[in-house]
């Protein structure tokens, strides 16, 4: 049983779901969450701030996954006696990821509550949040995946010393894409009908950064960029895009977007009028559970990737099993990214607090985390570098890379096979191999 309190109101819930989370924060109010009390006479609780997008139409899936994984870690730790005899508790302010002011206000709310750490999936306006948190400087761990945020750290490490990005930046989606194409070609499971790549790209800064990196990497590969189609969220009809894809007839197609429901709609329309024998890659969004739920059989054969995700190794499979048992309403179709990230962050903080013995000493804990990489269910978080972001694997020769799998966090390339997500590359942690898509002859 988990206890929630909101502005003096107490209620009991057995779990958090993507649907009930919206009801819990109706009106945008924040709430706190804790596992059952460890006992009487304990020191004050350790409060962790978890800004979450719970009342906007975007970001709910990722943030609820992050909050669910965080909750599971909290329950495990509290059941084992807490940290230094202190119970963990969560403070969860609502946030609009696209609003700079809302991002700032969510962090300000955490500061007002005197949290001892902040854990966040991602914000599309990270700098206002970073600036607000710089007034307080508690450890701020996120899966933000944005190089503009870590560039800010690099430019002013004193101001942003507390900012720790637990995954590689989005630049790697672009830089690694032609490398992946080449690896798929080398397997002989995909024979490109031509060397052309066509990219369909959203206009938010996140996707534009990926596009810029992809152009840089493609220019150094033996593939060629043959056209770019712009899209703008929300995409209500993919027909004009698919018509353009058929006209270009590129051997490889990249859809550089981020919304799972719109990716699902694309798959349905593409399946009805496909580009024969093209390898179609969808950037990140399919990791959200809504993709398979809404797309159904139309998602079969599509590929995607994430620079942050739960591995398919023994450790990752154990987490997936525990997560499914804890949240049976999600079934087997759990979110593979932020569920593990939220879980890993809390366990990382636990190790730091126990090592320093002083959760209130922000600087000491930031320094410990920076100096002590942690291998979680999503791979290695090694942020001891000029960007203070997790090192990326595989090495794509564009910087901040790890030479081996266990030195960094692996980008996971995945294909939908028989209605399930299967990691197909890198080979060290692959669960399957690339399979022919339904539109291949």
SS3 308: coil
Tokens of 115: 């949290």
Residue 177: give the domain boundaries: 171-306+412-429
Q: Is residue 398 part of a domain?
A: no
Task: Tell whether 266 and 375 lie within a shared domain.
Answer: no
Q: Is residue 439 part of a domain?
A: no
How far is Cα 401 from Cα 168, in angstroms, rounded to an integer?
9
Q: Name residues whose C-beta falls within 8 Å of residue 184's C-beta, 6 or more positions apart in sequence.
A: 190, 279, 425, 434
Task: Tell whether 150 and 18 lie within a shared domain.
Answer: yes
Q: Note the pLDDT tens digit of each residue in 128-169.
A: 999 999 999 999 999 999 999 999 999 999 999 999 999 999
Closest among 268, 256, 188 to 218, alpha carbons compared: 256
Q: Is residue 117 part of a domain?
A: yes
pTM summary value: 0.91
Confidence at 331, pLDDT banded by 50, 70, 90: confident
Q: Note the pLDDT tens digit of each residue in 348-359.
A: 999 999 999 999
Q: Is residue 436 part of a domain?
A: no
How far is Cα 112 from Cα 108, in angstroms, rounded to an integer?
6
Residue 277: CB atoms within 10 A of its CB come to: 17
Task: Tell whether 157 and 43 lie within a shared domain.
Answer: yes
Confidence at 43, pLDDT banded by 50, 70, 90: low
Residue 224: CB atoms within 10 A of its CB come to: 13
Task: Tell whether 247 and 344 lie within a shared domain.
Answer: no
Q: Is residue 405 part of a domain?
A: no
Task: Tell whether 337 and 389 lie within a shared domain.
Answer: yes
- Identify the weakest region by mean pLDDT among 21-35, 51-65, 217-231, 385-399: 21-35
Instruction: Give the CA distances from residue 6 to residues 20, 97, 206, 363, in Å, rounded to whole numbers and listed in that order.
Output: 15, 21, 33, 30
Q: Is the CB of residue 138 less than 8 Å from the CB of residue 117?
A: yes
Task: Tell whether 151 and 22 lie within a shared domain.
Answer: yes
How far is Cα 174 from Cα 77, in angstroms, rounded to an integer?
38
Mean predicted confidence (pLDDT) in 3-28: 34
Task: Tell whether 31 and 154 lie within a shared domain.
Answer: yes
How confident is the prediction for the chain on average, in pLDDT? 91
Number of domains in the chain: 2
- What does the pLDDT read at residue 30? 63
How far is Cα 27 from Cα 9, in angstroms, rounded to an integer?
14
Closest among 289, 308, 286 to 379, alpha carbons compared: 308
Q: Is residue 299 part of a domain?
A: yes
Task: Tell whether 155 and 216 lie within a shared domain.
Answer: no
Query: What percent of the chain lies above the pLDDT cut of 70?
Result: 90
- What does the pLDDT read at residue 31? 61
Closest among 11, 113, 21 to 329, alpha carbons compared: 21
The better pLDDT of the pair 395, 43 is held by 395
E strands along 63-214, which residues?
A: 88-92, 117-120, 140-142, 163-165, 196-201
Tokens of 29: 């109010």
Residue with tokens 């084992």: 80
- What does the pLDDT read at residue 363? 98
Q: DSSP code of 251?
A: S
Task: Tell whether 98 and 204 lie within a shared domain.
Answer: no
Instruction: Give the CA distances from residue 172 to residues 155, 176, 286, in Å, rounded to whole numbers and listed in that order.
Output: 20, 6, 17
- Residue 41 scores a pLDDT above 60: no
Q: Is residue 402 part of a domain?
A: no
- Residue 19 scores a pLDDT above 50: no
Task: Tell whether 162 and 239 lie within a shared domain.
Answer: no
SS3 46: strand
Task: Tell whether 13 and 96 lie within a shared domain.
Answer: yes
- Identify the weakest region by mean pLDDT among 107-121, 221-235, 328-342, 402-416: 328-342
Closest among 77, 113, 122, 66 to 95, alpha carbons compared: 122
Confidence at 59, pLDDT banded by 50, 70, 90: confident
- What does the pLDDT read at residue 334? 87
Q: Is the CB of residue 124 less than 8 Å from the CB of residue 151?
A: no
CATH number at residue 244: 3.40.50.2300
Task: Tell whether 191 and 300 lie within a shared domain.
Answer: yes
Q: Is residue 437 part of a domain?
A: no
């Amino acid at each position: 049983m988990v206890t929630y309190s909101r502005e003096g109101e107490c209620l009991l819930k057995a779990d958090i779901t993507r649907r009930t989370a919206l009801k819990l924060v109706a009106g945008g109010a924040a709430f706190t969450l804790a596992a059952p009390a460890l006992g009487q006479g304990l020191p004050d609780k350790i409060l962790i701030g978890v800004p979450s997008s719970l009342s906007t139409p975007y970001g709910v899936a990722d943030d609820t996954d992050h909050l669910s994984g965080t909750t599971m870690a909290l329950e495990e730790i509290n059941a084992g006696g807490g940290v230094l005899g202190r119970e963990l508790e969560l403070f969860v302010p609502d946030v609009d990821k696209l609003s700079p002011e809302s991002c700032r206000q969510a962090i300000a709310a955490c500061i007002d509550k005197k949290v001892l750490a902040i854990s966040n999936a991602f914000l599309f306006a990270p700098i206002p949040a970073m600036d607000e948190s710089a007034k307080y400087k508690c450890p701020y761990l996120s899966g933000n995946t944005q190089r503009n945020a870590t560039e800010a750290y690099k430019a002013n490490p004193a101001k942003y010393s507390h900012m720790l990005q637990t995954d590689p930046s989005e630049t790697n989606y672009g830089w690694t894409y032609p490398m992946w194409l080449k690896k798929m070609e080398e397997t002989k499971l995909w024979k490109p009908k031509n060397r052309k790549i066509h990219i369909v790209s959203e206009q938010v800064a996140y996707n534009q950064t990926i596009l810029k990196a992809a152009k840089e990497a493609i220019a150094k590969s033996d593939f060629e960029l043959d056209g770019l189609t712009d899209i703008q969220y929300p995409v209500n009809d993919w027909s004009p895009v698919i018509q353009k894809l058929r006209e270009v007839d590129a051997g490889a197609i990249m859809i550089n977007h981020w919304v799972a429901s719109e990716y699902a709609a694309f798959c349905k329309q593409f399946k009805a009028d496909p580009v024969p024998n093209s390898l179609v890659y969808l950037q990140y969004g399919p990791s959200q559970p809504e993709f398979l739920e809404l797309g159904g059989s139309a998602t079969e054969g599509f590929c995607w990737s994430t620079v942050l995700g739960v591995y398919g190794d023994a450790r990752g499979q154990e987490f997936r099993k525990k997560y499914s048992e804890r949240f049976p309403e999600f079934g087997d179709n759990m979110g593979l990214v932020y569920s593990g990230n939220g879980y890993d962050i809390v366990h990382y903080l636990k190790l730091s607090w126990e090592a320093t013995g002083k959760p209130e000493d922000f600087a000491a804990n930031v320094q410990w985390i920076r100096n002590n990489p942690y291998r979680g269910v999503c791979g290695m978080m090694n942020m001891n570098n000029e960007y203070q972001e997790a090192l990326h694997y595989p090495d794509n020769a564009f910087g901040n890379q790890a030479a081996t799998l266990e030195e960094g966090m692996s980008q996971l390339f995945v294909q939908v096979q028989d209605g399930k997500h299967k990691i197909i590359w890198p080979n060290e942690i692959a669960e399957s191999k690339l399979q022919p898509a339904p539109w291949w002859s």
